[in-house]
Each structure stands twice: as structure tokens, then as C-alpha cells.
């Protein structure tokens, strides 16, 4: 029986043969790598899906490469010791990096393992097993020590304490520590290779295929289900269409890469929590796409294609708005460089409390807008996320409230936008509009939110996982709607935890590899999550101000709170409704203003 996770390519082989398991190529089949050889500049992916190499780790006096996966129990037992070892040797110029070589572990799972065990040194993904093969690694948790010239000086176990099925009460041989001492002193380690008691790695194997998936029969249904919502003609949410076989063939290599990495469809949350808008391909679906690519991308019989999916031609995701507000100013944007936030106050003052059930931000040149936040405030005040309504973010969707719920814009308010622009390589212009839809049915619940945030941020230079914590308390018994997180370029991960008055705690959301370019909302099934009054919503965020963060503007400075991307923010939005509230409001569908109530006694909170 296989004891390690099968790789993606191995699964492709199983799918395509349609027969029994093909021969598995294990690590024992890999060619031996002699200690003393110079290791090439290993290539891998970091937790942000960016291609990196050993050269990106800097120029330490020695490297410790820890080969691991997310399932090996022996590897898990060694994380506390590896943390201590890394802390002990960091000041001596030794750099640790964890290399995950299990092909079926996703990059998000790799990041989540680092977060779960509190490990701050880099975690990277060896997608094809090439890193493990180049160093001669056969098991997890096997380590390799390279000197400053990247010569392999030691390969083997961390120590002799843990093994499959048991453990020594105490360590007798500190193999990794001894090897590091020797290398830094310019000596050969007494033992250059030691046996590893751990989980054997399995590398991909190639097997003959009886039948290759075709685009029309096998791939198109997957694209329709998971991809075309964004990748369709006229959509600004994706850079190209995937409606036809020609579309897919033009982008076949890119499809293969993002599917293998599980980068697309975009979903940043841990799979341990579940949400109504969860995205992602199943293993079988990834297997089909990989097999289609390996088989030469055949189109197949047009008669096998499912009916074409159609999309609303309106430029508005929320449908035709009842009210549109357009900025007076058109922003002129440079061809390159960093653009400071631009602020827009829309030319309309709400004459009465106004109820909206949908809201959308619509730039007329969407490719210039990285993200944009919408809030209401009184004229004379500054823009503040405290009265946040919705945002336009990469990978996100417009605000569409559940039936019977609405957001109130107070009388005398104006709408403000905070726009973060990005350059396109040529001068551009953009003008902002927003659209609102007003409720048609009875409003029972006003949408509320907790803004779990803090401006007390001071991230030290070089810190790889600096924690920032904040919490807010629910003032009422509440039903949760969902959550949204916002950080800047040093943001690494964010976790929401509910602490109920009876002492129970529940992790509501973990975003283990937060990415500034994909700020999604996470929504529960309506009515599925309730919280007693007094529940404390705690948000824990970590920030990576190290040189290994590829988006870090400057790892040498202390980073503080501020509005620009080279500053930082910590915002955890928690949206909810009050279980004790039944507004019983009806509004004018043309203005969003409340109509006179038939029963004057029916007041909020009754």
C-alpha cells in the first residue's frame, strides 16, 4: 500500500491508463548524489507562487535544506527542534529553508504548515521533485548542509531521536549540529551521510495512456464550471477569455502551470474551513487537465461539447443599478512608477437615510485599478474605512446582499473612494463610477460589521513573521455573513478566531499565504454561523519584512501603519446581522428611502 501522497503526474498516469497502478518511481530509483559536489542553483516556488532560487536566499556561510511534506509524522515531530536550531544558528550566518517535495501538497498547504508550527524561516515548494533529486534526498525529514559555495557537505538525519513507530528518550547523536559546527570551522563533518528514519519520497512516473482527454468532452466542462465566470469575452476580471478551444490552446502552457500549482481558480483560505463561495479544482479535474496537456491538447469532436455558457452583457455585475454616481474628475496616470492613493468624493449628498442591497465600483478603465474601497462619511471628514461599504479587489466580487438584508447610508452622507492605481506601461486615464441597487422586498436585517484593526504596527527590519493582533466584541447575538482581510505588501497571513463567553474558541478563517493581489471575501452559507453576544473576534496577522519577501519595498526599515503600500495596514472585517433585530422596512425602489410603516410600533430591535 502506498504510504505517501501520490504526485500529480502519477495521478495523471492512473487516470489515463484506466487500469491498475503503474510502476511508481521511488526515491531509491533516483541517481545517487555524492557529498562534495556543487549543487546547482535550485529553483522552487515561494508561498506567494513566485519562482525563486537559492540565489534569492542571500549569501550565508551555510545553508540547511530541510526536505519535508505535510503528512510525515516524523517530520512533524522535528519542527520544534528545527525552530530552535534555526534560532541558534541564524546569528552565525546559517540560513534554513524548508523544501516541500510532496507533489500533491499545495503551496497553500505548505504555507499553512509554517503557520501552524510557528516556523519563521522560508518554506518553498519543489513542484517537480527536481530539488530533492539534485541533492540526493530520499526521505522526509532529510536535511542537506551546503557551504557558502553551495557544495554539499552533509546529507542525512537531524539527529537520532525520532523514527517511524517510536522514539529514543534522549538524543545520542546531534548529527545536523555537528555537521554545521564542522562546516563553519572549515572541517569535514565526521559523518557526511547518515541514515534517515522517515517517510520515503515518491517521484512521478510516466505510463502509457489508452485514452487522452479531449477539450470538447473533458476540459471544456471544467472551464465552464470553474473558469469562465471570469474568463469570458468582455470581462474585466481576467486578462483573457477561455470560452473556446482556440482560447484554451493559446494559453495551454499557462493553464497547465496555474492548475498544477493550484494557483487558479484563486482561493486563499485554508481548506480546513468551508465557505459558500469556495473555489478550486478537485484532484480529478486537475488530473484531467494535466493529462490533456501531456496528450498534446486534442480538441476532440465538437458534438461532445456541452452547450455554451452565456453571460449577462451588462457592464454591471450587480445588474442595472437604480442609482449611478460618477466622479467629476478623470484621473491622469503615468506610464510607470508608484502612484499614491487617489481619493474621490462623489457629487451627491444623501438627503435621507438610504438602504442599498447591492453596490459596485466601476472604473471606466479597469485595468488601471488594483483595488478601490468605498465608504460613506460626512462632508468635511476624511475618508475612513470605519464606514466601509464595499471594495473592488482582485479576485473579489461586487456586494450583493442576501434576501431581506441591506446596508444603510445615513442622511447627509457622501460616498468616498480610495483608489489604488497600477501602471500599465503607457499613460492612462480613468474615471470612477459607483452603482447601487435598492431593495424590492421587506428589509428585516441591517448589515453590520466589526472592523478588527489596529494602527499600532511597528514591524522590525528583517522580521519574517512579525505578529500583530487585534480583537473586537460582538454587542449582540449575531449571525455571521462572512469576512474580509486587508494588508499591504508585507502581509503574510491572517487568522480569525471566535472566542465565545463560555470559553470555547473556533478558528473561523485562516489565510495562510495572503497575497495583496488577491483580496477575496469569504462568505458562509446564509444562516449557518451564529455567535452569542459577547463573542470576541480575534484577528492575528503576520508580516514578512525580510529580504526573501519578493514584494518588500525595503527590508531595512521599521514598517509602520499608513495609507500607502510601503506602509502597512491590518484590517479584519467581520460582517454580521443582529439576531434580535427585525426592521420590517419597505423602501422606495427608486430612491432607497424607507416608506412609512403600516405598524408604527415595529421598530428596530423588536
CATH number at residue 31: 3.40.30.10
Strand ranges in 127-274 using DSSP code E only, listed in sequence order? 139-140, 143-147, 152-156, 162-163, 166-167, 199-200, 202-203
Residue where one domain finishes, among candidates 154, 172, 203: 203
Query: Cα–Cα distance between 553 and 321 in angstroms, integer?
Result: 40
Q: Does a structural domain hold residue 597?
A: no
Q: Does a structural domain hold residue 259?
A: yes
For residue 269, what pLDDT is reported? 95
CB-CB contact of 577 with 523 (8 Å):
no
Q: Does a structural domain hold residue 53?
A: yes
Beta bridge partners of 347: none
Q: Does a structural domain hold residue 605?
A: no
Find the domain containing 329 and state its range: 323-444
Q: Does a structural domain hold residue 469?
A: yes
My answer on whether 182 and 220 are in the same domain is no
Q: Does a structural domain hold residue 476?
A: yes
CB-CB contact of 44 with 52 (8 Å):
yes
Q: Does a structural domain hold residue 606?
A: no
My answer on whether 425 and 465 are in the same domain is no
My answer on whether 119 and 248 are in the same domain is no
My answer on whether 455 and 565 are in the same domain is yes
Closest Cα to residue 193, out of 250, 136, 259? 136
My answer on whether 287 and 223 are in the same domain is yes
CB-CB contact of 265 with 281 (8 Å):
yes
Residue labelled with grid coordinates 534569492: 56
Residue where one domain finishes, among candidates 393, 424, 444: 444
My answer on whether 438 and 459 are in the same domain is no
For residue 518, what pLDDT is reported? 83
CB-CB contact of 407 with 359 (8 Å):
yes
My answer on whether 363 and 412 are in the same domain is yes
Query: Cα–Cα distance between 122 and 63 in angstroms, integer?
Result: 12
58 Cβ neighbours under 8 A, 6+ residues apart: 95, 547, 548
CB-CB contact of 385 with 373 (8 Å):
yes
For residue 204, what pLDDT is reported? 58
Query: Cα–Cα distance between 245 and 251 in angstroms, integer?
Result: 10
Q: What is the mean pLDDT of each run of 10 residues along the chain (606 residues)?
A: 36 33 43 90 96 94 97 96 97 97 91 97 95 96 97 97 89 97 97 94 61 95 95 85 96 95 93 94 93 95 96 86 97 92 93 97 92 89 78 85 96 94 94 97 96 97 98 98 94 98 98 90 96 98 97 97 90 97 96 80 45
For residue 12, what pLDDT is reported? 32
CA distance readout (Å), 473 to 275, 511, 537, 568:
22, 21, 6, 24
- DSSP track, 16-64: HH-SSPPPPEEGGGSPP--TTSBPP--EEEETTS-EEEGGGG---SEEE
My answer on whether 169 and 293 are in the same domain is no
My answer on whether 284 and 389 are in the same domain is no
Q: Does a structural domain hold residue 355?
A: yes
5 Cβ neighbours under 8 A, 6+ residues apart: 69, 71, 102, 103, 104, 105, 202
CB-CB contact of 137 with 144 (8 Å):
yes
My answer on whether 153 and 59 are in the same domain is yes
Helix or strand (DSSP H, E) at 434? strand 432-437
My answer on whether 42 and 93 are in the same domain is yes
Query: Cα–Cα distance between 564 and 546 in angstroms, integer?
Result: 19
CA-angle at 25, arms to 23 and 31, nearest 5° = 145
Helix, coil or strand: residue 283: helix
CA-angle at 145, arms to 139 and 151, nearest 5° = 115
pLDDT in tens, 326-385: 999 999 999 999 888 899 999 999 999 999 999 999 999 998 998 899 999 988 777 666
Residue where one domain finishes, among candidates 144, 171, 203: 203
The angle, 0 to 180 degrees and rounded to 10, between the axes of the packed helices 283-294 and 252-260 is 140
- Number of independent structural domains in the chain: 4
Residue labelled with grid coordinates 433585530: 581
**What is the pTM (predicted TM-score) of this model?**
0.88
My answer on whether 271 and 198 are in the same domain is no
Query: Cα–Cα distance between 281 and 11 in angstroms, integer?
Result: 14
Residue labelled with grid coordinates 470605519: 386
For residue 520, what pLDDT is reported? 87
Q: Domain containing 379 — which CATH number? A: 2.60.120.230
Amino acid at each position: 500500500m502506498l504510504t505517501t501522497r501520490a504526485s500529480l503526474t502519477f495521478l495523471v498516469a492512473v487516470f489515463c491508463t484506466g487500469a491498475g497502478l503503474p510502476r511508481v518511481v521511488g526515491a531509491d530509483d533516483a541517481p545517487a548524489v555524492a557529498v562534495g559536489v556543487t549543487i546547482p542553483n535550485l529553483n522552487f516556488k515561494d508561498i506567494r507562487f513566485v519562482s525563486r532560487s537559492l540565489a534569492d536566499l542571500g549569501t550565508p556561510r551555510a545553508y540547511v535544506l530541510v526536505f519535508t511534506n505535510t503528512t510525515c509524522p516524523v517530520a512533524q515531530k522535528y519542527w520544534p527542534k528545527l525552530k530552535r536550531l534555526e534560532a541558534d544558528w541564524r546569528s552565525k550566518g546559517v540560513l534554513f529553508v524548508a523544501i516541500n517535495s510532496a507533489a500533491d501538497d499545495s503551496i497553500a498547504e505548505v504555507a499553512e504548515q509554517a503557520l501552524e508550527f510557528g516556523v519563521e524561516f522560508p518554506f518553498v515548494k519543489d513542484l517537480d521533485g527536481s530539488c530533492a533529486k539534485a541533492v540526493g534526498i530520499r526521505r522526509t525529514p532529510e536535511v542537506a548542509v551546503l557551504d557558502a559555495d553551495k557544495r554539499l557537505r552533509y546529507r542525512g538525519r537531524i539527529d537520532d531521536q525520532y523514527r517511524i513507530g517510536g522514539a529514543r528518550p534522549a538524543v545520542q547523536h546531534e548529527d545536523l549540529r555537528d555537521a554545521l559546527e564542522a562546516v563553519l570551522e572549515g572541517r569535514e563533518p565526521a559523518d557526511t551521510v547518515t541514515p534517515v528514519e522517515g517517510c520515503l519520497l515518491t517521484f512521478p512516473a510516466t505510463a502509457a495512456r489508452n485514452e487522452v482527454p479531449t477539450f470538447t468532452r473533458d476540459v471544456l466542462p471544467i472551464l465552464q464550471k470553474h473558469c469562465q465566470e471570469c474568463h469570458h469575452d468582455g470581462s474585466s476580471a481576467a486578462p483573457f477569455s477561455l470560452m473556446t478551444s482556440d482560447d484554451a490552446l493559446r494559453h495551454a502552457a499557462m493553464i497547465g502551470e496555474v492548475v498544477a500549482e493550484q494557483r487558479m481558480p484563486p482561493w486563499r483560505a485554508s481548506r480546513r474551513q468551508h465557505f459558500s463561495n469556495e473555489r478550486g479544482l478537485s484532484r480529478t479535474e486537475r488530473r484531467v487537465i494535466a493529462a490533456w496537456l501531456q496528450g498534446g491538447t486534442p480538441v476532440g469532436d465538437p458534438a461532445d461539447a456541452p452547450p455554451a455558457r452565456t453571460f449577462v452583457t451588462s457592464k454591471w455585475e450587480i445588474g442595472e443599478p437604480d442609482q449611478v454616481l460618477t466622479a467629476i474628475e478623470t484621473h491622469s496616470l503615468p506610464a510607470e512608477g508608484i502612484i499614491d492613493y487617489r481619493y474621490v468624493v462623489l457629487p451627491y449628498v444623501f438627503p435621507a437615510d438610504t438602504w442599498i442591497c447591492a453596490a459596485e465600483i466601476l472604473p471606466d478603465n479597469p485595468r488601471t485599478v488594483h483595488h478601490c474601497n468605498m465608504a460613506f462619511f460626512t462632508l468635511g471628514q476624511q475618508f475612513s474605512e470605519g464606514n466601509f461599504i464595499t471594495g473592488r479587489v482582485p479576485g473579489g466580487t461586487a456586494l450583493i446582499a442576501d434576501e431581506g438584508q441591506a446596508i444603510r447610508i445615513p442622511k447627509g452622507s457622501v460616498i468616498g473612494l480610495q483608489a489604488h492605481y497600477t501602471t500599465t506601461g503607457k499613460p492612462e486615464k480613468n474615471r470612477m463610477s459607483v452603482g447601487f441597487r435598492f431593495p424590492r422586498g421587506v428589509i428585516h436585517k441591517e448589515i453590520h460589521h466589526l472592523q478588527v484593526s489596529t494602527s499600532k504596527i511597528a514591524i522590525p527590519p528583517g522580521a519574517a513573521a512579525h505578529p500583530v493582533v487585534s480583537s473586537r466584541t460582538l454587542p449582540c447575538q449575531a449571525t455571521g455573513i462572512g469576512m474580509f482581510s486587508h494588508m499591504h505588501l508585507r502581509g503574510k497571513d491572517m487568522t480569525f478566531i471566535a472566542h465565545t463567553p463560555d470559553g470555547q474558541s473556533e478558528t473561523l478563517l485562516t489565510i495562510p499565504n495572503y497575497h495583496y493581489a488577491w483580496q477575496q471575501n469569504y462568505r458562509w452559507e446564509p444562516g449557518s454561523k451564529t455567535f452569542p453576544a459577547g463573542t470576541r473576534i480575534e484577528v492575528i496577522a503576520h508580516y514578512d519584512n525580510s529580504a526573501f519577501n519578493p514584494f518588500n519595498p525595503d527590508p531595512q526599515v521599521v514598517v509602520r501603519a499608513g495609507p500607502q503600500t510601503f506602509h502597512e495596514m491590518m484590517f479584519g472585517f467581520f460582517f454580521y446581522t443582529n439576531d434580535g433585530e427585525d426592521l420590517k422596512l419597505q423602501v422606495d425602489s427608486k430612491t432607497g428611502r424607507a416608506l412609512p410603516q403600516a405598524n408604527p410600533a415595529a421598530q428596530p430591535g423588536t
